[in-house]
Amino acid sequence: MTCNPQEVIVRGRTLLVAALAACVLGAGCERVQEAARAKAEGPARVQPGDTASPRTLLLNPRIAVDTAPPLYRARFATTAGDFVVEVHRDWSPRGADRFWNLVRARYYDSVYIHRVTPGIAQFGFHSDPRVNNLWLQRYIGDDPVAQSNTRGRVTFAHAGLNTRSTQIFINRLDNPQYDQEGFAPFGEIVEGLQTVGNFYGGYGEVAPDGKGPSNGQAAFRGNEYLSAEFPQLTQILGITIEDGAAPAAADSAATR
């Protein structure tokens, strides 16, 4: 079966919306969720370009909109080993900017690589479901596909036009079929590509097509669900920007 990142995000988004709607059935769930979102984000006092802590950026995605450098490297530390992604902003400007801001917010610290198939390795559900609620539908516009999805290239997943948010996949094989589906790589692994081969893939495809996690549960319950029911998944311990460009200053109170 073809491993299509688009299909997974569609199912995950549908399940998340359904779960959130059920939480206060008949009691104005939409208004309650919007109020909770506004309270969590707080007033937008920090402007793009200002120095902000990871916690501030994480809980205020509307201000995490800085422009990334033209070229930068991000070092991933994972439970399977390290690897380095070189990001080319000219390949996918919106994708490179979103990844830059997510790293500055430390969004991917402690995130599990929840979907590992022969073709791809995918991640993007935050450990805290409240943060998922803030970010998963905080979409960015599309970029033209300027580079092919060859082995080692890194790409945002999407569920159709202009629906990229936090889900990223690494091409473990050459996947030229994704080029025609609008998946635009924004970077490539330049160090530690062998680490991707060490990601745990024993669960196979995500539910319901395989024995892997449910996207809806991963979004709605976060790491509580993934660590308890899929303990062998590879985990991202942290991501740091190399070559002199550092993410936002550490904040011990940041959501994990």
For residue 34, pLDDT over 70 is answered with no
* Res. 22 pLDDT band, cuts 50 70 90: very low
CA 57 – CA 104 distance, rounded (Å): 8
* Res. 78 pLDDT band, cuts 50 70 90: very high
pLDDT of residue 51: 65
Over the stretch 103-114, which tens digit does the pLDDT of each residue have?
A: 999 999 999 999
Listed in sequence order, the residues at least 6 apart from 22 whose beta carbon sits closer than 8 Å to its beta carbon are: none
Task: Give the dihedral sign, CA 176/152/220/205.
Answer: positive
DSSP type of residue 248: S
- Mean pLDDT for the stretch of residues 18-31: 36
Q: For residue 91, count other CB atoms closer than 10 A to its CB.
A: 21
pLDDT of residue 203: 97
pLDDT of residue 5: 61
pLDDT of residue 45: 36
Q: Assign residue 100 a region: left if phi > 0, alpha if psi is -120 to 50, beta otherwise?
A: alpha
Over the stretch 86-142, which tens digit does the pLDDT of each residue have?
A: 999 999 999 999 999 999 999 999 999 999 999 999 999 999 999 999 999 999 999
For residue 13, pLDDT over 50 is answered with no
CA 93 – CA 240 distance, rounded (Å): 20
CA nearest 163: which of 196, 187, 139? 139
pLDDT of residue 4: 59
* Res. 64 pLDDT band, cuts 50 70 90: very high
- C-alpha torsion 245→249→255→256, nearest 10: 60
pLDDT of residue 84: 98
Over the stretch 154-168, which tens digit does the pLDDT of each residue have?
A: 999 999 999 999 999
pLDDT of residue 234: 98
DSSP type of residue 78: E
pLDDT of residue 106: 98
Over the stretch 188-212, which tens digit does the pLDDT of each residue have?
A: 999 999 999 999 999 999 999 999 9
Q: What percent of the chain has pLDDT over 70?
A: 75
Phi first, then psi: give them for residue 162, nearest 5 degrees. Answer: 55, 45
Q: Which of 13-27, 103-117, 144-158 has the lowest mean pLDDT?
A: 13-27
Over the stretch 230-251, which tens digit does the pLDDT of each residue have?
A: 999 999 999 999 965 545 544 4
Structural domains present in the chain = 5-40+56-241 (2.40.100.10)
pLDDT of residue 42: 40
Residue 128 contacts residue 255 (beta carbons within 8 Å): yes
pLDDT of residue 154: 99
- β strands within 55-212, DSSP E: 71-78, 81-88, 115-116, 120-123, 153-156, 168-171, 185-191
For residue 225, pLDDT over 70 is answered with yes
